[in-house]
Structure 1
Amino acid sequence: MSSPHAIPDLFALSDIHGPVLRPTDPGYTTELAGFNLAAPHTPDLVVGATGADDIVAAMRWAAATHTPVAVQATGHGANFPVDHGLLINTSRMTDVHVDARQRTATIAAGAKARHALDAAAPHGLTILTGTSTDVGVVGFTLGGGLPILGRAYGYASDLVRSFNVVTPDGIQRLAAPTEEPDLFWALRGGQGNVGVVTELVTDLVPLTRLLGGGIHCPGEQAEPLLRTWREWTTTVPDEMCSTYDILRLPPMPDTPEPDPLGGGFLARVAIAWPGDPDEGERLLAPLRTAAPVLLDTVADIPCTDMDHVYIEPQDPLPVRESCALLQALPPKALSAFLHACGPTARSDYPLRMVELRHLGAALSRPAHTEDAVCARDAAYFMETIGVPADPEAAGAVETATRALHTAMAPYGTGLTMVNVHGRPGDALDRARAWTPEIYDRLRHTKATYDPQNLLRFGHAVPPAA
């Protein structure tokens, strides 16, 4: 904090309708709670925003006092601890308005994918969402948003029509292709580097059902399933979306024996297919014969049951994640991958999940309006997740992550994806989410809208000099 009088000044602002809390105030810790427990926040002040006016007031105060600002909706992307400064919590802002005639949704800053799915479904529409519907729509979209149905429909940011955003000068602006076009560009794939989004308007997809779920095999059969999946991805239609996962899962509490998913070492292919379910079932035949199947959860499901595809944890966890974009998966890459994290890895291998996702198709096509997404030339995507319980376990997760990334580096593009980059390091590390040209443009756009670098937490870029 730059001024000892700054906190009392904020309390004097009558148009902050939500709570304004200091570390000693009751409810402070609860206000900061989010999904990822790996990066606990300790800001000097937290504002529980109830609407755009609260965000405007908070940002004006931050600009006047030169106080750095962070934003949190659900805390799924909380890979970086916020110490000091101001944190704006948008979790109360959950409104979703669907315009069925226009096939659009206006989604507030703190709304989760679950809110948007439920609002769109009665109109025969759905939103592009990631592997968990507990994630906030705005944060997901600002990072580009890699959806479950990405190969069929593209990135979530591709469908955005406009943003209402409060820039660090405290001015509320409309960002759209013809209004503040540089701001609109930076908000689609540039993460939250240039402002605090209060709501967005996005196109919806006319879809009510999909074929989705996972084919789970013993982890010892990871190699035949991987090699079959890799070959299979070269033959499937664009609309077939899939991942290959190696899972090392803890026992599931309150689950009767036998528990095919809990406490197991598994290889899985998860799929999402928005086409004819019978055709989808036929396409899956090679995967179901690649290795013995322990559990097959693939089913025809409503779009509101999107969580059925990946069955992700619902309770907060200390998550450490990372990712890399891959140019291709030749046989040597598969061998390197399996050697690092497959059946021959040490028995206490610390990564809970290692995933390879098939990209391409709609994910490779340019957006209608240029954006800051830098993953369109990648063929596959690798993600790792560890859930360390203590600092020693966290060190083991980091070591295993580095080893896997080193093994796969010859097959990578050199870039990451900002939403799942993990805990950002120095400026050079953060820059890996974009090409040099896009990164340079982001820095210049940052200098226009945030010259004080108030939005400096998390995966931030510095303003150009």
Structure 2
Amino acid sequence: MSTHTPATRATVGTAFRPASAAAVGALAGAVARLHLPGDARYAELTVTSNITKAVRPLAVVEVTSPDEVSATLRIATASGVPVAVASTGHGATETMADAILVHTAALDELEIHAAQRWARVGAGVRWAAVLEAAAPHGLAGLCGSSTDVGVVGFLTGGGVGPLARSHGLSSDTVRAFDVVTGDGEIRRASATENPELFWGLRGGKGSLGIVTAVEIDLVELPEVYGGAIWFDGADATAVLRTWSVWTDLLPEEGTTSIAVMRLPDMDPFPEPLRGRTTIALRFVWTGDPAVGEEMIRAMRAVATPLIDAVGVMPYSAIGAVHSDPDDPMPLHESSLLLDEFGPDTADVLVDLVGPDAQTAQAMVEVRQLGGAVRRGPDSAFAHREAAYQVFAIGLMIPEIAQVVVADSRRIVGALAPWARDGGLPNFTDTAGVGWARRVYSPAVAARLGTLSRRFDPAGVLLAGRGVRD
């Protein structure tokens, strides 16, 4: 039974192309929860974490089972209408105009198999729920810097989290996917069952199918030594230069990033950090805490911290390391990969966004990669060899939006001497062919394209179009 009212359906339907109207009409009799523009639930399910990336699909199917995903894909294929997928509102890249949105929020199963150290997670589950469920068993799932994001979306993008150097890509922990491929078939993908599909789902985002559940290995890690140290912007040169050398010496048990921040003078930000330029050093050590304390000593000695929140912490509180905001905001994001980040690069970054620079970015982060990221099973994640990633965020306030965009281009251009081609799937907020060419090598893109034609012969999946052209 559909949840929309007949009046809403009639009003909206008059604006559809015939194929779109046919698809929506067929879905009304095939799925339990169909939401159209004007419905309250439609509005709720189309909210995005980056409100500059508004989505306006023809309709939202709030699926309750893999069978409903299959039915939606088959109806869309028959009608010639594309299909997109969402779970939490993070990672939106397209308007989804003329598309059906499959929303997986209701697929919320979560099972922890503590004795065997693995979990089964539905496509609607966020990382915070997994951490909470695993913590009583001393187990941890390899989440990202924010625990508010969906598990499946993060893993299909590879997953570079705050334990990446010690434990590798989060997608390397995937045991199996339950997925409905673009042809509407319900399949299971693992290293031994549909292995080519399994390869493509780890890094290929939604280009091959809609994942309904994932099974992941958990690691025995009740606590870590980690947190953030904040320095005043006046110490930017000393802190960034020291960090650039320190990371070269840091063992794999340590994962770190550093960010130049300009936080607004308002709640909920701590008073010492408001309305000024600060430097946030993020650090997680998965080995002996006493050794971790020795490792961070050199950074603590560079300058007097404004806030020092590094110490032993439960892994379930790992989101506090980055303290990523959860509320939707208007953002402009840009990123690039680097082969190195030495003292010369640090000096350029200070010139670009340090306390004396004129910049419109709220944050510019440099994240060290390497370590265990460079190892792991073959997958569609194409840039394991990158040494660092730069990620910049600016607030797209209408009065300065053009300045924010131009400023991000200035930063990317100035760092070009140290950059390498490529980008990470979860940090590149564009879509289509341009996105695919950026995040995949030509060989990976070609292999994904071949798989897309096999598992989605009609090209119904919106996310797959970038690898097919």
Tell me if the contact between 2:435 and 2:466 (Cα under 8 Å) persists in the aligned partners.
Answer: no
- Structure 1 CA distance, aligned partners of 2:239 and 2:40? 52
Q: Deviations over 1:370-414 (max 9, x none)?
A: 101122111111111122122x43322211111111111221121
Alignment size in residue pairs: 452
Residue range with higher mean Cα deviation, 30-39 or 168-177: 30-39
Change (3 A) 1:223 1:191: same
What is the letter of the counterpart of residue 405 of structure 1?
Answer: V
What is the letter of the counterpart of residue 204 of structure 2?
Answer: G
1:448 to 450, 454, 461: 454
What does residue 402 of structure 2 align with? Answer: 395
What secondary structure, in the 3-state scheme, does the structure 2 residue paired with 1:244 have? strand
The aligned runs of 1:338-353 (5 Å cut-off) are 338-346=350-358, 349-353=359-363
What does residue 9 of structure 2 align with? Answer: none
RMSD (Å) for aligned C-alpha atoms: 1.7
Deviation at 1:427, TM superposition (A): 1.8
What does residue 242 of structure 1 align with? Answer: 256
What does residue 321 of structure 1 align with? Answer: 333
Residue range with higher mean Cα deviation, 274-283 or 137-146: 274-283
Structure 1 position 77 matched with structure 2 position 82: no
1:7 to 8, 24, 30: 24
Residue range with higher mean Cα deviation, 225-234 or 25-34: 25-34
What is the letter of the counterpart of residue 98 of structure 1?
Answer: I
Deviation at 1:262, TM superposition (A): 2.7
Deviation at 1:39, TM superposition (A): 0.8
- Structure 1 CA distance, aligned partners of 2:456 and 2:419? 32
Structure 1 position 364 matched with structure 2 position 371: no
What secondary structure, in the 3-state scheme, does the structure 1 residue paired with 2:407 have? helix
Change (3 A) 1:357 1:11: same
Deviation at 1:178, TM superposition (A): 1.6
Change (3 A) 1:53 1:429: closer
Tell me if the contact between 1:442 and 1:461 (Cα under 8 Å) persists in the aligned partners.
Answer: no
What does residue 188 of structure 2 align with? Answer: 174
What is the letter of the counterpart of residue 362 of structure 1?
Answer: A
- Structure 2 CA distance, aligned partners of 1:397 and 1:84? 30
TM-score by length of 1: 0.93
Greater helix share, 1 or 2?
2
Tell me if the contact between 1:155 and 1:363 (Cα under 8 Å) persists in the aligned partners.
Answer: yes
Tell me if the contact between 1:68 and 1:455 (Cα under 8 Å) persists in the aligned partners.
Answer: yes
Deviation at 1:65, TM superposition (A): 1.2
What secondary structure, in the 3-state scheme, does the structure 2 residue paired with 1:423 have? coil
What does residue 418 of structure 1 align with? Answer: 425
Structure 1 unmatched runs, 5+: none
What does residue 405 of structure 1 align with? Answer: 412
What secondary structure, in the 3-state scheme, does the structure 1 residue paired with 2:367 have? strand
What secondary structure, in the 3-state scheme, does the structure 2 residue paired with 1:234 have? helix
Change (3 A) 1:262 1:80: farther
What secondary structure, in the 3-state scheme, does the structure 1 residue paired with 2:462 have? coil
Structure 1 position 230 matched with structure 2 position 240: no
1:23 to 37, 44, 52: 37
What secondary structure, in the 3-state scheme, does the structure 1 residue paired with 2:199 have? helix
Q: Deviations over 1:409-428 (max 9, x none)?
A: 2211211101001233x624
- Structure 2 CA distance, aligned partners of 1:376 and 1:287? 27
- Structure 1 CA distance, aligned partners of 2:365 and 2:326? 19
Deviation at 1:254, TM superposition (A): 6.1
What is the letter of the counterpart of residue 386 of structure 1?
Answer: G
Structure 2 unmatched runs, 5+: 1-16
- Structure 2 CA distance, aligned partners of 1:77 and 1:429? 13
What secondary structure, in the 3-state scheme, does the structure 1 residue paired with 2:111 have? strand
- Structure 2 CA distance, aligned partners of 1:278 and 1:358? 22
- Structure 2 CA distance, aligned partners of 1:176 and 1:334? 42
What does residue 64 of structure 1 align with? Answer: 78
What secondary structure, in the 3-state scheme, does the structure 2 residue paired with 1:431 have? helix
- Structure 2 CA distance, aligned partners of 1:71 and 1:28? 14
What does residue 230 of structure 2 align with? Answer: 216
The aligned runs of 1:64-463 (5 Å cut-off) are 64-253=78-267, 259-346=271-358, 349-365=359-375, 367-368=376-377, 370-390=378-398, 392-424=399-431, 427-457=433-463, 460-463=465-468
What is the letter of the counterpart of residue 388 of structure 2?
Answer: Y
- Structure 2 CA distance, aligned partners of 1:254 and 1:143? 30
Deviation at 1:119, TM superposition (A): 1.3
Change (3 A) 1:423 1:251: farther
Residue range with higher mean Cα deviation, 50-59 or 144-153: 50-59
TM-score by length of 2: 0.93
Change (3 A) 1:216 1:259: same
The aligned runs of 1:32-71 (5 Å cut-off) are 32-71=46-85
